[in-house]
Structure 1
Amino acid sequence: MGVQHWTVGEVRIHAVLQAVIPIPASRLFANQPARLPAHLVPDYVDAAGNILMAIQSYLIESAAARVLVDTCFAGSFLQPRGIPDRHEESLAATGTAPEDITAVVCTHLHRDHAGRNTVERDGQWVPTYPNADYLLTEAEHQHWCECTGEDRAPAECVVPLAQHDKLRLVDPDHQVTDNVRLVPAAGHTPGHVAVRVESDGAVAYIGGDTVHHPIQIGDPEIAALPDADPGAARASREKLLRRIVDERALLLGSHFTAPSAGFVVGGEGGMTWQPLIDREGTR
């Protein structure tokens, strides 16, 4: 199967796709426009007017580390809904085995981002990536402990990480490796982060749920229904997009279907999304 991949300096980033799910815009956005922009069809909106949501991880590969950003849904969530789970196949296509992952970044603890943190073996839940430290912010862990919403990752996705001494609570600007740093982006959840990748002067950002869909680039005030604090989420989105414009960085949308990476261009009329059409992207 084909894998989207990009080169950022000496770092390689791969999209590890689990599934693409079409949903009505009203199920995600609190204040979506009456009509979705025509230029988003067919890559990000289908012919029926549904928005297309990719469920995917990103693998950041350097000489020193292999960092996985988010782990997607648990297979048990997709199977009853008749949605094929391609995550294992996608990861294998990058030449990476679960044992090769050195760190897992949890941008936040919603079930579509943390559901595959663990796997059940012999009746016990264990880390899916046995040699990795799982990184999340203290604020996010505290929020997860207190919240009860349906988007919350189940306990078996988080508690076993601490039991196996794999959970690391970090600051929201934590330096993961020489090339990878967390970026505070609270709002979608209180401890939500984006991820910054830099190598040889080239920069890329993995947005997490700061930006759910390209439509929010042209109109950052569009709020997602799961946002815990819509005002803070909007402020984080606008701040991240400005940074991307100023740094001429590549944006990799955690839920963007292919082409999942591109550039954000600022102008008098606001910001616009310019997808990187070629599967191989170099910065």
Structure 2
Amino acid sequence: MNTTNTTNTTSTPSAGIGRAGVPHWSVGDVTVHRVDEVPLAPATGRWLLPDATAAVVAEQEWLRPDFADPDGALRLSSHSFAFSVGGLRVLVDTGIGNGKERANPAWHDLRTDYLQRLTAAGYPPDSVDLVILTHLHTDHVGWNTRQVDGAWVPTFGNARYLTSRTEREFWASHPMDGPRRQMFRDSVHPVEDAGLLDLVDVPAEGLDIAPGLRLVPTPGHTPGHLAVQLDSRGATALITGDCVHHPVQLPHPDIGSCVDIDPARSEATRRALLASLAGTDVLLLGSHFPPPTAGTVSAHGDPYRLSPVPARH
């Protein structure tokens, strides 16, 4: 993989320092910034995790008020994570994007200040070296591109974009409806056409792609789905992607997403992941968890819960 470092050091905080006003966590010497795009509409949770009913949510008092509304509606958000590790300036997932034609009205033709927030975190687009795509779903690839003179061009022109070969090859042969074809046309194909997309084979034990940066296979939601692990000075964090959408899935790992490609495998992956994290100090960073977004996994009855670790600002 070509990961030529084009960092603009004049605009870059050191790896262990967060920008004032930007939510961040420390993982050893690494600072992980949450780059917010948009809160997801309340109806999203009912559609995405239909078995997370109000009654199920009410059983878990700890979910309120941060992760669920009083009526049991799940809170979800769209955001990315940015950090510097192993000499690379890294962005994990790129949200929904601006000005995209989308079937979901809540995602259609957004106009957010995502790039300004990314820049405020110390990661202007031209300074990003590596974009990791946990999987190729619409709400994880949108800012791969932005519109310039009527054409979709890569947002991060100095970066390599990285995803699983299994993931890309699955979608290459999978029947697509019109909205998904549109997403590939505006958010994936331009990156491929520019020669910026790298496909990697990720074995069951994971793959180190830089010192302190590891890809962990978490299949089920999609066949090539990845989680992202960070290690620094004995501390570890794991970015979930969509193998865990919401903290309600900790006490109920059986609750799956309506868009899981392989629901049984998704549940098995989630159960194995949570079992490996329970009782450890690993910081779990949820790719759709609303603030406080992160926490550690502890055993709690039936069978796990999230102990929140709020971000610094």
Q: Which has the higher strand share?
A: 1
Q: 1:261–1:275: 8 Å Cα contact kept in structure 2?
A: yes
TM-score under structure 1 normalisation? 0.91
The answer to whether the Cα contact below 8 Å between 2:27 and 2:231 also exists between their aligned partners in 1 is yes
Q: How far off its partner does 1:184 sit?
A: 0.3
Give the whole-Å Cα distance in 2 for the aligned partners of 1:116 and 1:180: 22
What residue is the counterpart of 1:62 in the other structure? 85
Letter in 1 for 2:226: V
The reply to whether residue 23 of structure 1 matches residue 42 of structure 2 is yes
Q: Is the 8 A contact 2:54 2:73 kept in 1?
A: no
Q: Which residue pairs with 2:295 in the alignment?
A: 262
In structure 2, the residue matched to 1:74 is 97
Report matched runs for 1:15-54 at 5 Å.
15-24=34-43, 25-35=45-55, 36-37=57-58, 38-54=61-77
Structure 1 match to 2:15 = none
Select the residue among 141, 163, 186 that pairs with 1:114. 141
Q: Work out the CA distance in 1 between the residues paired with 2:261 and 2:282.
A: 27
Aligned to 1:6: 25
Aligned positions, number: 280
Counterpart for residue 214 of structure 2 = 181
Quick check: 2:132–2:162 contact (8 Å CA) kept in 1?
Answer: yes
1:124 and 2:156 are equivalent in the alignment: no
- Structure 2 SS opposite 1:136: strand
Structure 1, 233-242 or 169-178: larger mean CA deviation? 169-178
Paired residues of 1:22 and 1:46 also in contact (CA < 8 A): no
CA deviations 1:31-77 (Å, max 9, x no partner) are: 22442133322211123432111100100223611110000002124
Is residue 99 from structure 1 mapped to residue 126 from structure 2 by the alignment?
Answer: yes
Partner of 1:148: 176
- Which secondary structure does the structure 2 equivalent of 1:114 belong to? helix
1:251 aligns with 2:279: no
Q: Give the secondary-structure state (helix, strand or coil) at the position aligned to 2:257.
A: coil
Q: Post-superposition, which runs of at least 4 consecutive aligned residues in structure 1 deviate over 4 A?
A: 77-84, 149-152
Gapped regions of structure 1 (runs ≥ 5) = none
SS at match of 1:203: strand
Scaled by the length of structure 2, the TM-score of the pair is 0.83
Which of 158, 161, 170 is the equivalent residue of 2:191? 161
2:309 paired residue number: 276
Contact 1:203 / 1:250 at 8 angstroms: preserved in 2?
yes
Equivalent-residue separation in structure 1 for 2:151 and 2:210 (angstroms): 31
Greater Cα offset, 250-259 or 175-184: 175-184
Amino acid at match of 1:148: M
Identity of aligned residues (%): 36
Contact 1:195 1:207 in 2 (8 A): yes
Task: Report the Cα distance in structure 1 between the residues aligned to 2:126 and 2:208, rounded to whole angstroms.
Answer: 22
SS of 1:218's equivalent in the other structure is: coil
Distance in 2 (alpha carbons) for counterparts of 1:157 and 1:178: 29
Q: Is residue 240 of structure 1 aligned with residue 270 of structure 2?
A: no
CA deviation map 1:177-197 (0-9, x unaligned): 111111000100011010000
SS of residue in 2 equivalent to 1:255: coil
Q: Is the 8 A contact 2:97 2:110 kept in 1?
A: no
Aligned to 1:170: 200
Distance 2:216 2:129 in 1: 20
Partner secondary structure for residue 40 of structure 2: strand
Change (3 A) 1:259 1:84: farther
**Structure 1 residues 34 and 280, CA gap change in structure 2 (3 angstroms):** closer
Q: Secondary structure at the match of 2:207?
A: coil
The question of whether the paired residues in 1 share the 8 Å contact of 2:85 and 2:213 is answered with no
